[in-house]
Chains A and B, each alone.
Chain A
Amino acid sequence: MPAWLVTLGWAVLKASLILGFVLFNALFLVWWERKFAARIQSRVGPQRTGRPFGYLQSMADVFKLLSKEDVVPARVDRWMYVLAPIVIFVPAVLVYVVVPFGPNLIVQDLNIGILYVAAVTSFTMIAIVMAGWAANNKYSVVSAMRAAAQLVAYEVPLVLAVIGPVMLAGTLSLQGIVRAQEGLWYIVVQPLGFLVFLTAGMAELNRAPFDLSEAESELVAGYNIEYSGMRWSFFFLAEFSNLVAVSAIATTLFLGGWQAPWFLPAAVKGLIPPVVWFLAKTYFLVTVIMWIRWTLPRVRIDQLLDFGWKFLLPVSLANIALTGLLFPVLVRLGWI
């Protein structure tokens, strides 16, 4: 077999694995979020399709969305309207290229992994602005403008929060950062960084309380107001895919990735495979983000920007300074 064919085969295999993972995630998380929100709200949630817990509800939704009429409103900017769902979906999948699911379970361990993540996730903004503009609707335009302002404001603290672990690990590779956390998870020495990352990540994700661009009570549905059927579900897929991606990156950077907790004895560590640790932590973070979403009200756009520029940015800078100051101490203590 020629070498290029092997490479191509692997690439296709990996790509389909990622795609499968993303789709499965979306199916599972839609159901999980509904059930979770329902319990918080004293409701039952999905229960009919797939009794008794409604676990087939997301499948039913998929079939419903697939069978819907493909509506393209008359006055939309057709090309942008059609392209926006793809533009938002592709980077959402691309992030997973560098996510280390296990010691050897990674598509490509780029040595600039973190930079790659920061670059790829920023694409979401372009897609949202495209969708908002193309739909030829005032609500969606306002939403697009909000999204742009929001992503610019929160990209900076997000990247700055990432710098802490990078400084401690001394590498940009995600796999390298995970390996560096064998002795101690970085959340212990970087609690501030973790909080900033989670907050900014939620803003990047457009999750409540930062879901300004799709604020259903003000802008009805924001940028996806004119979308329906499968096109709309691409936005949905991308949202849940990004949700897992941000949680996975946070796990990688601060919660030790696929490493078992450092304080456990070695015998126990060996019992559970790394990928299980990784997924467990990721889904825990996903659940926390959902929990926050179903608890807090939404902030306003000016308050959001204030919070990003005037609070998160100084805090993340302070975090970097602190990390630099504490670095020698931590090394002396043998914590890293």
Chain B
Amino acid sequence: MEAAVTRNRSFRDFLIYLYRAARAIVLGHAVTLKHLFRRPVTIRYPEEEYHATPWHRTYPALVIDEATRELKCTACMSCERACPPGIIAIERAQGEDKKTYPGEFWIDMLRCMECGICVEVCPFDALEMVPEYKMTAYHPDDGIFDKERLAVVVRGPKTPWPRRKGSYLEGGWPT
């Protein structure tokens, strides 16, 4: 572009080069000066929080049916089979009414790659990716989530993944 190598040029070219170089440097400083008066874009985390989109995928959680206050999961093992890193472990249990439910449901969040495939394959909408990104722990074992840690109530609009064709607009959009 403009700024060029100065070797083997006439003195006049050198002066032109000098002018261009000086102008470019001044322009660069003008940009930085302009930024002195711009607002920072930093989010100061504990005080201000980053609001991820409601359908942000952080980890798969077990959905509780609000009407019955029970997990929607029927322990059909679809997610366990589909999970690429194989970190979901379910122990199926059977209630008195012959309905199956997950006796244990473990997700090793230390290895979870947050792909959301478990949510996609779930035939009962019993898993949801939740945008809850505060998952720090003091011990690696805390990264293994069990049924109690995973259970959430999903209220209001659902996450937009279309389980079945055309379903996602029915829940309405959180705007």
Contacts and interface: CB of A to CB of B under 8 A. Distances in A.
A292 B29 contact: yes
B42 A44 contact: yes
Given A296-B25, A296-B28, A291 B40 contact: no
A7 interface: no
Contacts of A292: 29
Contacts of B42: 42-44
Interface string B14-29: 0000000000010011
Contact of A42 (B28, B33, B35, B44): B35
Interface stretch (A33-41, A155-163, A173-181, A183-191): A33-41
Contact of B33 (A43, A44, A291): A291
A50 to B, nearest CB: 15
Contacts of B33: 291
B38 interface: yes
B41 interface: yes
B3 to A, nearest CB: 12
Nearest to A288: B29
Interface residues of A, number: 14
A49 interface: no
Interface string B33-61: 10110111110100000000000000000
A48 B36 CA distance: 20
A44 B44 contact: yes
A295 interface: yes
B32 interface: yes
Contact of B35 (A41, A44, A47, A296): A41
Contacts of B29: 291-292, 295
A292 B29 CA distance: 7
> Which of B25, B38, B42, B44 gathers most chain A CB within 10 Å?
B42
B36 A42 contact: no
Contact of A47 (B28, B36, B44): B44
Looking at chain A's contact residues, is the secondary structure mostly helix, strand, loop, or mixed? Answer: loop
Contacts of B40: 38-39, 42-44
A38 B41 CA distance: 11
Nearest to A294: B32
A292 B33 CA distance: 10
A104 B61 CA distance: 74
B25 to A, nearest CB: 7
B80 to A, nearest CB: 44
Interface string B62-86: 0000000000000000000000000
Interface in A40-65: 40-44, 47
A47 B41 CA distance: 14
B96 to A, nearest CB: 56
Nearest to B38: A42
B4 to A, nearest CB: 14
B32 A42 contact: no
Contacts of B25: 295-296
Nearest to B47: A47
B41 A295 contact: no
Contacts of B28: 295-296
Interface string A20-41: 0000000000000000101111
Contacts of B35: 39-42
Contacts of A39: 35-36, 40
Interface string A277-313: 0000000000000011011100000000000000000
Nearest to A48: B44
Contacts of A295: 25, 28-29, 31-32
A213 B44 CA distance: 34
Given A291-B29, A295-B29, A40 B36 contact: yes
30 contacts: A36-B36, A38-B40, A39-B35, A39-B40, A40-B32, A40-B35, A40-B36, A41-B35, A42-B38, A42-B39, A42-B40, A42-B41, A42-B42, A43-B40, A43-B41, A43-B42, A44-B40, A44-B42, A44-B44, A47-B44, A291-B29, A291-B32, A291-B33, A292-B29, A294-B32, A295-B25, A295-B29, A295-B31, A295-B32, A296-B28
Given A42-B35, A44-B40, 13 more contacts: A36-B36, A38-B40, A41-B35, A42-B38, A42-B39, A42-B41, A42-B42, A43-B42, A44-B42, A44-B44, A291-B29, A294-B32, A295-B29
Interface of B: 25, 28-29, 31-33, 35-36, 38-42, 44
Interface of A: 36, 38-44, 47, 291-292, 294-296
